[in-house]
Each structure stands twice: as C-alpha cells, then as structure tokens.
Amino acid sequence: MDRFEADGSVPQRRFTPPEGSTTVYLVRHGATEAAHPDRPFETRDGHGDPALAPEGVAQAEALGRRLVAEHEVRPFSAIYVTTLRRTLQTASPLLSATGMTHAVEPDLREVHLGEYEGGLLRLRGAEGDPLVREVYTQERWDVIPGAESWTSFQGRCVSAIERIAKAHSGQRVLTVVHGGVIGAVLAHVAQSRNFAFIGAENSSVSEIVHLPDPFDRWMLRRFNDVTHLD
C-alpha cells in the first residue's frame, strides 16, 4: 500500500501485500516420463501417475535451489503436494534441504481425463486427434468421454486453495501441483476464460495473494516463472 515519506511525498515502491495477506505459490511438477502407445502410465485412483523423467529430476533440483534461497529470506509455513508421485518428487529437493515435512491435498490432483487417461491424451494430441482439438476449442475436459467436467474440476481446486489459505492466514505457502490445476485456479483468480492459463511450464512458479478484509479477494502476482531454468 502507498505510504508517505517524512517529507510528505509518496514514491513508487515494490508491491507489498497488506498485513494479513496470504501468499500461495503454485508450482508445476517437473517433466514426467514419455508416453508410449504400448506402455500406459501406472494409475493411482484412476489418474495417470508417471514418475519424473531425468529432465524433470534436473528441473526439480534447480527449482529446489531457488526455493531454498527464497525460504531463507522469508520462510514457507507449509509445503503441499498431491496424491500423484510427480509432485512429491518435485518437492523432494526442497524438503531435503529445509527439513520440512509435506502435507497431501487430494483435491489438487490433476484433472481426470476419462478414456484418455494413462498418457493417452499426449499420444492422441501428437496424432492430431480432432477430439483433442475440440477440448481446447471448447475449453473443457469432458469433451473426452468419462472426463471430469470443468465445473467439478475447478470447484475442487479452488476449494482446496481456499482451505489452505484459511489454514495459513497471513503466511506464505508452497503447493506443488499440476498444469491443469494451475490453469483452473488462475482462471478463477483472474476471472478469465477457462483455458487462459493452461500450459504452465514444468517446474514453473506462479503466485497468488489473498488480500484480507476489507478486500477479501485474490490477486495474481506471477505466472509461469522459470528463471531458475535459464
């Protein structure tokens, strides 16, 4: 917030969240194993559950170094992952370096893709499947038979983020999640088209801030920051 200097002037300053604000980092997991037609991904609770690829492990290590440095300046109060192993693998370098423990938030798992689970969405997309094109044209996942609806998916993601923010009011929290989750949450925060924020890079950092009363609203501060990979 703007404030006066001793001489009565009000200079421009870097953004400082009002007292009581909650900052939530949304980090996408590192790159995962390649999808193969003859080797579908293992599943967990019906969701494809690939491990990180070697590239993803390297991304997680670079991300960890960056977040450790940020944690030393202003500590994270909690680190959340999802039920899918790629998020915990991505968080592991930070957890190891800081000695922090993680919490699991099941409602931040990736969108369920119905008949295109297990890596099939990637394969069909590479083939130019018209159904995949229609997903992105209509900006909803349930164009795919059996897939989760946008309303259901975004609803559970936003509810989970709001629960986390309430549990850590006035603090700074890290969540390691999925590209679809980031897209759904940021579309809610920015009141944008459904897929306006789809496509966050692996190991990218996005940042939202919940402003306390009398504002009681979210701000988008950062999207798809991958400077740690440069």
| List of long-range contacts for 183-190, beta carbons under 8 Å, 24+ apart | 184/111, 184/150, 184/153, 184/154, 184/157, 184/158, 185/26, 185/154, 185/157, 185/158, 185/161, 186/26, 186/220, 186/223, 187/154, 188/154, 188/157, 188/158, 188/218, 189/218, 189/219, 189/220, 190/220
Task: Give the pLDDT of residue 108.
Answer: 98
Residue 195 lies in a domain: yes
The CATH code of the domain that includes 79 is 3.40.50.1240
Task: Give the pLDDT of residue 1.
Answer: 64
- pLDDT tens string, the chain, 230 residues long: the values are 677 788 889 888 888 888 999 999 999 999 999 999 999 999 999 999 999 999 999 999 999 999 999 999 999 999 999 999 999 999 999 999 999 999 999 999 999 999 999 999 999 999 999 999 999 999 999 999 999 999 999 999 999 999 999 999 999 999 999 999 999 999 999 999 999 999 999 999 999 999 998 999 999 999 999 999 98
Domain count, the chain: 1
Residue 15 lies in a domain: no
Q: Do 228 and 62 contact (CB within 8 A), yes or no?
A: yes
Residue 8 lies in a domain: no
Domain that holds residue 58: 22-229
Residue 76 lies in a domain: yes
Task: Give the pLDDT of residue 174.
Answer: 98
Residue 114 lies in a domain: yes
Residue 14 lies in a domain: no
